Chains A and B, each alone.
Chain A
């Protein structure tokens, strides 16, 4: 399946993801820059993305941990998510994510 990723320069990329992948891993493995300092264990907030309006409601709600870590981000929006907490499944094929400034290295 595909993820549409807009990087922090505003460039859009179509990347490949497998079922069960964390979106963060798919983004990282595609070669795009995503700090993901803690390696995806929901301990930092450096994989913070914005989910497009069309997709935000389709994701499962944020966990308590994710909710807490989002307190640390530079610019919190209603569509803010940690991409290490988005586990890809067929229903998310084509999901649109925008990398936040927190993901910069």
Chain B
């Protein structure tokens, strides 16, 4: 497949794009690689932006995914601070806003996501911030120092991680979540409950099932937030963390199939076989179109980057990495493996009261994933079990005296 390929262009210089570039070299690609990023900075890791970086524990340089020397040594041409304007599929060319055109034999779209905007009055006031880029994080860190009362709209990972940082700095914190529980899209009710209680125990106010109708100001000065119910909370800093939207504009304009994400087959190819999409921006169609997933995570970005490089250089093969994810809030580390949204049975091991437990999820008797709080061994063992398709028995595991380790051993012995 690789014989006629001389030029590969990657649109997006985040975790996925950089990994694809590095992995293409590892797979033996010797042609030209152009890596285009719209931010002016060298590619960097985003997870610390809502955690260690905000606290000042990590410098900007330390966020870099790959040092300039490595990118230079691997002969990767960086085009930073350049916005992509369109794809010319006929001429196989990526057009940049500056008027430059990059010809490709294969194009990899790694365009990521952007913060979902919240269209309520006051969302553009000074002191209202979102968190996605290092520029956002710098802005938030600057405002955080002088802030006393912080309102966070959205009880997802970013909102809650920021809430924990703000509480550790002794700020007053109110989190408003529109759905019935925090982190609802990604975690089980047990995990939501545990973290909701943790945030409350740490002194934050957490309100679920309530929408924010307005960000209130006086003379363009931020005053607080008003809920749909009419309740008001004073705030001198408002953080909006209501999810992310995939960047599919250029794909859609080029006529590629798009559906809340750039649609790809299980080999990560879009509806144009010369164009791949990887990372947060893509939605994988698997199981003959039945199963569609779009995952926003470092693991997914790097594994898909590697996989696209493999497919381009070797052969199309299905992407099937087991998803995993983590979140740090206060002294609790949440680690997740697999995707658990379709679970019908959940078994808890350990003790939520002691802040050390795991939730194991099953669907129709098949083990589909785990969520672990301060229980890394459970996380690691289940990740291996998922990788190796070990058929855990929910009946056996539900016995309170049986550990996950024993359940895995029993499943592999038979």
Shortest Cβ gap from B221 to chain A (Å) = 36
Note all chain A residues with C-beta closer than 8 A to B302.
35, 37
A3-19: contact bitstring with B at CB < 8 Å (1 yes, 0 no)?
A: 00000000000000000
A32, closest chain B residue (CB): B67
The stretch among B152-160, B266-274, B376-384, B391-399 that forms the contact with chain A is: B376-384
Shortest Cβ gap from B31 to chain A (Å) = 20
Q: How far is the CA of A100 from the CA of B65 in the complex (A)?
A: 18
Taking a contact as CB atoms closer than 8 A, the residue among A38, A39, A67, A71 that contacts B384 in the complex is A71
B52-96 interface with A by 8 A CB criterion: 52, 58, 61-62, 65-67, 69-70
Taking a contact as CB atoms closer than 8 A, the residue among B62, B333, B335, B381 that contacts A71 in the complex is B381
Shortest Cβ gap from A83 to chain B (Å) = 14
Whether the Cβ atoms of B66 and A105 lie closer than 8 Å is yes
Shortest Cβ gap from A32 to chain B (Å) = 8
Whether the Cβ atoms of A39 and B45 lie closer than 8 Å is yes
A-B contact count (CB 8 A): 59
Whether the Cβ atoms of A42 and B328 lie closer than 8 Å is no
Note all chain B residues with C-beta closer than 8 A to A25.
62
Whether the Cβ atoms of B69 and A69 lie closer than 8 Å is no
Note all chain B residues with C-beta closer than 8 A to A43.
326, 333, 335, 376
Note all chain B residues with C-beta closer than 8 A to A35.
302
Q: How far is the CA of A28 from the CA of B380 in the complex (A)?
A: 25
B257-280 interface with A by 8 A CB criterion: none
Question: Counting CB contacts under 8 A, is B313 at the interface?
Answer: no
Q: How far is the CA of A39 from the CA of B327 in the complex (A)?
A: 12
B59, closest chain A residue (CB): A29
Q: How far is the CA of A90 from the CA of B328 in the complex (A)?
A: 30
Note all chain A residues with C-beta closer than 8 A to B70.
31, 33, 105
Q: For this complex, into which size category does the number of interface residues on chain B fall?
A: 20 to 34
Question: Counting CB contacts under 8 A, is A68 at the interface?
Answer: yes
A27-74 interface with B by 8 A CB criterion: 28-29, 31, 33, 35, 37-39, 41-43, 64-65, 67-69, 71-72
Whether the Cβ atoms of B380 and A38 lie closer than 8 Å is no
Taking a contact as CB atoms closer than 8 A, the residue among A31, A41, A71 that contacts B380 in the complex is A71
Taking a contact as CB atoms closer than 8 A, the residue among A31, A64, A72, A105 that contacts B69 in the complex is A31
Shortest Cβ gap from B2 to chain A (Å) = 21
Shortest Cβ gap from A95 to chain B (Å) = 21
Shortest Cβ gap from A86 to chain B (Å) = 17
Shortest Cβ gap from A5 to chain B (Å) = 14
Q: How far is the CA of A33 from the CA of B66 in the complex (A)?
A: 7
Question: Counting CB contacts under 8 A, is B149 at the interface?
Answer: no
Given contacts A29-B61, A29-B62, A33-B70, contact A68 B328 (CB under 8 A): no
Note all chain A residues with C-beta closer than 8 A to B335.
43
Note all chain B residues with C-beta closer than 8 A to A64.
376-377
Shortest Cβ gap from B181 to chain A (Å) = 24
Note all chain B residues with C-beta closer than 8 A to A105.
18-19, 22, 65-66, 70
Q: How far is the CA of A69 from the CA of B380 in the complex (A)?
A: 6
Q: How far is the CA of A35 from the CA of B66 in the complex (A)?
A: 8
Question: Counting CB contacts under 8 A, is B298 at the interface?
Answer: yes
Q: How far is the CA of A29 from the CA of B48 in the complex (A)?
A: 16
B356-405 interface with A by 8 A CB criterion: 376-377, 379-381, 383-384
Note all chain A residues with C-beta closer than 8 A to B65.
105
Other contacts beyond A64-B377, A68-B376: 4, CB < 8 A: A37-B302, A42-B376, A43-B326, A68-B380
Contact surface of B with A, Cβ cutoff 8 Å? 18-19, 22, 26, 45, 47-48, 51-52, 58, 61-62, 65-67, 69-70, 298-299, 302, 326, 328, 333, 335, 376-377, 379-381, 383-384
In the complex, the 9 A-B pairs of residues with the closest C-beta atoms, listed nearest first: A68-B377, A68-B376, A43-B326, A65-B376, A31-B67, A71-B380, A68-B380, A39-B48, A105-B22
Pairs A–B under 8 Å by Cβ, sample size 30:
A28-B62, A29-B61, A31-B69, A33-B66, A35-B302, A37-B45, A37-B298, A37-B299, A37-B302, A38-B47, A39-B47, A39-B58, A41-B328, A41-B333, A42-B333, A43-B326, A43-B335, A43-B376, A64-B376, A67-B377, A68-B379, A68-B381, A71-B377, A71-B381, A104-B26, A105-B18, A105-B19, A105-B22, A105-B66, A105-B70
